[in-house]
Chains A and B, each alone.
Chain A
């Protein structure tokens, strides 16, 4: 008798597995279902924003599906068929990819905020008390200063950091060649190039490095967590702009209402509480987010399409070449 039991159990389990697997693919979204696919950092903000939206008449009864991950991964997933109604990425090219795939309207950025939902600035996080007296970009290339930044090739979002450092040199009146030389010196001081902003912060909190280039919202969130850090907003730095878009063919009516809420003063107030700079006037308290005197945008450096090509292209980009020249000298 017993001889039969084990194969029977195994085949039942296998069958069960197949059935479960097939059953699971049948689940489709109803009209009250809204799926948000976003990059990692704003998850904490959405934890407050979504319940607040659901409390409004527009958001009543809407069930949210939420997915968070690295910006590029999320964009590629939607392009490969991940069902989404609203996408919120770190970088504009991640939306452009979906425009090319026919999943987002080409007029997605034709609104009052040019398609952006939040802003931030690139900052320098230092240890409490700022023992190395770091006040700006020029301090990062001093001998003996160890810098941590995510790898701009592994993490697309980390390109904000590099372009902040580069653009600040241009802003100070240096030539592109001099700014390039600055990047070379900066990378010379970089001790770790983690795979994501979160991993870079992990490395920094584990005691490595004197300075971490990061986004202001991350710095604020981490400070609220009680980590022994403070941050410096350089005089010249980049304005980080995070895009939001509605995916065609989904639950567009509800998606539009949600995006409208995120851009409303009520929604923007919550973003501000979470450390993001609002994209509409009059939401943040005066002095809450000081505007650096030399603030510039990625557009002033030619926009992401050109920047990606010029700086980060495999084997020909100028940052690629910096990594190569430093790598060859240190690797042996």
Chain B
């Protein structure tokens, strides 16, 4: 009796909190999307602009997530395994992107890479357009989703300790072998959630991307920008349908990463 209360207590409290804060809103989004049946939803998500926005969002994620994953793991290793004085500072620097309002992120990027920005003349002279085209959107998306992988990996690395890595090094494994065979399998869940969060955040970002994209329909309009555009035009079905697509993309990422992580475990167990 006492045991079951102790087990059920956390579950009940946790799930109630989730239901109120997350379950209900998500259920409402799905309800609002499908309340008039499937046909209008299908119609909404197959609009040329919606399809273009979908692929643009996927493209941004495909560029940003690998970059932030590789660099994120590198930064995490530096912070946790490095032995230099600025380690704590590096950790702080890493969190800055979250504390800056997305609008200001966009503004700061324009100040640096825009027509009248620091590198504006140089970029224009070389025919490179960063702001109001894909590179600027990549920068904005990478900026707002930068810390996740490192932040998720650092605590795991910390918890892990260095014993196994040192043992591997003593046994003659190279740094890369040690990382690949010992460290990576151990931190995989941290990396998995880091990638999942990076992807979700990169998919959903509106404010910063909105400023640096120029919002050209069918050209630089991502799915969240498309959602906003549909709201502005009283097309709530279109807006909700696109939001559901974003949610499904996030689900798919989580599933894929879960599968990958499970496979990694089997690999290393053998």
B130 touches A67 (CB 8 A): no
Q: A14–B67 contact, CB under 8 A?
A: yes
- What is the 8 Å Cβ interface bit string for chain A, positions 9-49, against chain B (1 contact, 0 not)? 01001101110111011110000000101001101100000
Question: B59 touches which one: A20, A41, A68, A80 (CB < 8 A)?
Answer: A20
Q: Is A20's CB under 8 angstroms from B134's CB?
A: yes
A25 touches B128 (CB 8 A): yes
Q: Are B115 and A69 in contact (CB under 8 A)?
A: no
The answer to whether A144 has its CB under 8 Å from any CB of chain B is: no
Interface flag for A221 (CB, 8 Å) = yes
- Report if B245 contacts A (CB, 8 A): no
Q: Interface segment, B21-29, B37-45, B164-172, B212-220?
A: B212-220
Q: Which A residues between 65 and 86 are near B, CB-CB below 8 angstroms?
A: 65-69, 73, 77, 79-83
| Chain A residues near B110 (CB-CB < 8 A) | 80
Q: Does A222 contact B (CB under 8 A)?
A: yes
Whether B54 sits at the interface, judged by CB under 8 Å, is: no
**B234: contacting residue among A18, A25, A81, A225, CB under 8 A:** A225
Bound state CA distance, A20 and B69, in angstroms?
A: 19
Measured between C-beta atoms, what is the minimum distance from A125 to chain B in Å?
14
Q: Is the CB of A67 within 8 A of B138?
A: no
Given A24-B133, A25-B135, A80-B116, does the pair A40, B232 have CB atoms closer than 8 Å? Answer: yes
- Report if B82 contacts A (CB, 8 A): no
A198 part of interface (Cβ distance < 8 Å):
yes
Question: Of A13, A20, A25, A44, which contacts B129 at CB under 8 A?
Answer: A25
Q: What is the predominant secondary structure among interface residues of chain A facing chain B?
A: helix
Interface string of B73-103 (1 = CB under 8 A from A): 0000000000000000000000000000000
A73/B211 in contact, CB under 8 A: yes
Contacts of B120 in A (CB 8 A): 81
Contact B135 A22 (CB under 8 A): yes
Size of interface on B: residues with Cβ below 8 Å to A: 39
CA distance A20 to B267 in the complex (A): 33
Contact partner of B216 (CB less than 8 A), chosen from A10, A40, A67, A222, is: A67
**Min CB gap B43→A, angstroms:** 16
CA gap between A22 and B130 in the complex, in Å: 9
Q: Which of B63, B132, B214 contacts A21 (CB 8 A)?
A: B63
Alpha-carbon gap, A235 to B233, bound state (A): 29
| Distance of A27 Cα from B214 Cα, bound (Å) | 14
The answer on a CB contact under 8 Å between B130 and A17 is no
For A16, what are the chain B residues with a Cβ–Cβ distance below 8 Å?
Answer: 62-63
Min Cβ gap B177→A in Å is: 8
Indicate whether A57 reaches chain B with its CB closer than 8 angstroms.
no
Q: Contacts of A68 on B, CB cut-off 8 Å?
A: 215, 217, 229, 232
A67 with B215: CB separation less than 8 A = yes
Q: How far is the CA of A331 from the CA of B87 in the complex (A)?
A: 42
Pairwise interchain contact B216-A65, C-beta atoms closer than 8 A: yes
User: 0/1 per residue, B234-269, Cβ < 8 Å to A?
Assistant: 100000000000000000000000000000000100
Nearest A residue to B142, CB-CB: A17
Pairs of residues from A and B, 4 with the lowest C-beta to C-beta distance, nearest first: A81-B115, A17-B63, A24-B134, A13-B66
Binding site for A on B (CB under 8 A): 59, 62-64, 66-67, 69-70, 110, 114-117, 120, 127-135, 138, 180, 210-211, 214-219, 229, 231-234, 267
Interface residues of A (CB under 8 A from B): 2-3, 10, 13-14, 16-18, 20-22, 24-27, 35, 37, 40-41, 43-44, 65-69, 73, 77, 79-83, 198, 202, 221-222, 225
